[in-house]
Amino acid sequence: MDPLASYTFHVWLGTLEFGFSRVSGLSRETETTIYQEGGVNDRVHVLRGPVRNPGALHMERGAYAGEYFPFYLAGERLSPPMRIEVRSPEGLWPTGKFYTVTGLVVKKWEAGELDAQQNTLLIDKFDLQYEFLYVTVQ
């Protein structure tokens, strides 16, 4: 098996495809409780707790003019779920690794720095909260 390239991915919101240069915050975590059973001194029990949610996604992309883009709607719930497909290094086909997030709410949108003395791209930054993350491998 080859390791997956992290730089080739596509972001889908329903049937709409969007390009992002960076996505971070894909994670799941569970709480645990350590239980020491009475009379048993050689081990402890680790009990699984609930999965900690919600998660927070941080996304960045270059700003475009004249394009419908629902991520500008801070405070709005986005539906349907968002799917992130990891692609082959050539970017031609999905590798079989998909991240699907549900219950998305746009928490924050921030425009990058406007600086007339630099020749750089204008970057939009988005923070989204999500209720659940599914990881699918095909």
Residues 48 and 130: their CA atoms lie apart, in Å, by: 22
Residues 68 and 86: their CA atoms lie apart, in Å, by: 24
Contact (CB, 8 A) for 23 and 57: yes
Q: How far is CA 118 from CA 9, 110, 112, 113, 124, in A?
A: 28, 19, 12, 10, 17
Nearest of 25, 23, 116, 114 to residue 63 by alpha carbon: 114
Contact (CB, 8 A) for 99 and 75: no
Amino acid present at 129: Q
> What H or E segment, with its residue span, contains residue 57?
strand 55-62
Low-confidence ranges of the chain (pLDDT < 70): 1, 53
| pTM of the predicted model over 0.85 | no
